[in-house]
Amino acid sequence: MAQFRPKRLDLGCFTNIKIIRDHTKRKVFEEHEPERQALRFMIRNTSLPQRTRAQAQLQLTQMHCYTRPTQIRNRCIMGGKGRGVFRDFRMARYQFRMKALAGQIPGVKKASW
């Protein structure tokens, strides 16, 4: 969503629209996390009146989808791929293989046992 995006590109790595989108989602989620948590707390708190809890539910569902943590997906920093991305290296499997064979990932070697 363009309204959340900064005027200037604030990314230094490989960029394509999917990466920018994901980055925006992360930032928006970070910004709204306390609000989301507060609403979640109100919804689950049985000592609060039903009405308050229902209102909190409504408010939570009406928040923008970019504020949801489930929107965030790890993407390959080298090629922007969304599948087969290693959390340890933030790279998709093929990029990881190339880098590892080139010796550019510290400590990673070809294994044989």
Cβ-based nearer residue to another protein, 2 or 111: 111
Backbone angles phi, psi at 6, to 5 degrees: -70, 160
Residues 4, 27 contacting (CB under 8 angstroms): yes
Cβ-based nearer residue to another protein, 63 or 100: 100
Q: CB 46 → another protein: shortest distance, Å?
A: 10
Cβ-based nearer residue to another protein, 55 or 71: 55
Q: CB 63 → another protein: shortest distance, Å?
A: 20
Q: CB 16 → another protein: shortest distance, Å?
A: 20
Q: How far is CA 23 from the centre of its chain?
A: 7
Query: Which two structure tokens, joined as six digits, stand for 28?
Result: 């928006």
Cβ-based nearer residue to another protein, 68 or 99: 99
Q: CB 112 → another protein: shortest distance, Å?
A: 7
DSSP-H helix ranges across 6-48: 17-44
Where on the chain is the footprint of another protein (CB under 8 A)? Answer: 48-52, 55, 86, 88, 93-94, 96-97, 100, 105-112
Query: Which two structure tokens, joined as six digits, stand for 69?
Result: 């943590």
Cα 45 to Cα 14, 23, 54, 60, 72: the distances in Å are: 44, 32, 11, 15, 27
